[in-house]
Each structure stands twice: as structure tokens, then as C-alpha cells.
Structure 1
């Protein structure tokens, strides 16, 4: 996978690669890049009966830390708000969880670190 220099394109390619990687592990893609006031959900997937809201964080190098370290409490609140909005607009009531996937590297050398149930809605 070629990672382009445009940050938006790079982000989309990394999210697509992450969705494929998670699908290889049994999840099914439902939606991607869902926006709501004040937040965005990168990937929405199904893991059996559970709806999974996935935050994808990418860094080509770890000189300034691992991408998983960038999911702050404020970021979690924005993701939770967007997830609630999604559930409301889709009229869904089902088990949910919030996962985070840290992606490092570039091109075909991507490495994935997946944290299931990384945080809870409060």
C-alpha cells in the first residue's frame, strides 16, 4: 500500500488497511468516517452482536511516542458523543464497545496494535 504525502489521503488509506486487518480477524465493516457535531468515528464494525466503534491512530515513526498514546480523555469524549449520535440516528440499541488501533509504519510495512474495549462510555 502506497502511503501518499497528503495527510487526508494517508489517513484514509491507513483506515482502509485497518478495516481489512480487522476483517481478517472476524469483524465486519458497517461504516467509516461518520461525523457528528464535535466528533468523528473512523470505523464502525460488528463483532458478532456487538457494534464496535474503532478509533484508528497512525504514526509513521515512534520518535514522539506510540500512536495509542494520542487517544486522550477529550478525544474519548468526542468519540463517545459521536457514537451516541450514530446510535440515536440509526435507532440502534445493541451492545457496544470502543476499540483503538494504533498503526505504525508506512507503505507495506504497517504494524497494528489493537486494544479491544480500550475505554468505556460514561
Structure 2
């Protein structure tokens, strides 16, 4: 398997994980100019933009360390574009989350509100 297939597999596992926690998946791999959001979901009435990061080990750092300020800006821009295309969600509370998978899908860390003051 190449890295794109592996990434898609872990994104699908992340989608199953958040669905099991009662969230409704609205979009997977939402693309816009200059970026992508892995998952967009509703957590009751809160719109969650979710970045999925996988690393086999922490040799080069924890997966969350790869959500750089540049990546965060791209996520915000994509979220704004999503809201322009989906006006029905523009008044919902919103947040940015990360799902970090380390080693295998049994070790998932869910961090809510990873971007503040966007």
C-alpha cells in the first residue's frame, strides 16, 4: 500500500471513531484552493472541522506536532470556504479538532479546539 491509501484507511477509521461518539459526518476530504479538511462533522449543534494525523511512531515527533501554524491557516481558509458553500451552517458554533493516530487505530487521541481565536 502506498502512503495515500494508508492515509485514506486511517481517515476512514477516524470517521468511524467519531461516528461511534455520536457525531454525524457531513464531509470527508473537503478540498478547496490551497487546502483540505479531512473530516467535517456535527457534534450535536457544533460544527467540527477535523484534521487526522497518523504516525507509526514518535521518532520524528507526535502526530499533533505536524499541525503547524501554516496548516492551521489552511484549515481555517477551507472552513471559511465550506461555510460559503453551506450557508445553513454559518450560525452554528464551530471548532477545530485533531484525531492523532499513533501506531495503529487502537491508539487514537482526540483533541478538541486545537485552533483558538480564528
User: TM-score surpassing 0.5?
Assistant: yes
Aligned residues: 116
Q: Residue 45 of structure 1 aligns to a residue in which SS?
A: strand
Partner of 1:98: 96
Distance 1:34 1:12 in 2: 13
- Residue in 2 that maps onto 1:44: 40
Is contact 1:99-1:114 (8 Å) kept?
Answer: yes
1:29 is paired with a residue whose SS is strand
Matched with 2:108 is 112
What is the TM-score of this pair, normalised by structure 1?
Answer: 0.90
Moved segments of 4+, more than 6 Å: none
> Any stretches of 5+ residues in structure 2 without a counterpart?
none
Please list every run of 5 or more consecutive structure 1 residues that lacks an aligned counterpart in the other structure: none
2:82 alignment partner, SS class: helix
Aligned Cα root-mean-square deviation (Å): 1.2
Q: In the alignment, what sits opposite 1:20?
A: 16
For residues 89 and 105 of structure 1, the distance between their equivalents in structure 2, rounded to whole angstroms, comes to: 36
Q: CA deviation at 1:39?
A: 1.0
Give the TM-score of the pair, scaled to structure 2. Answer: 0.92
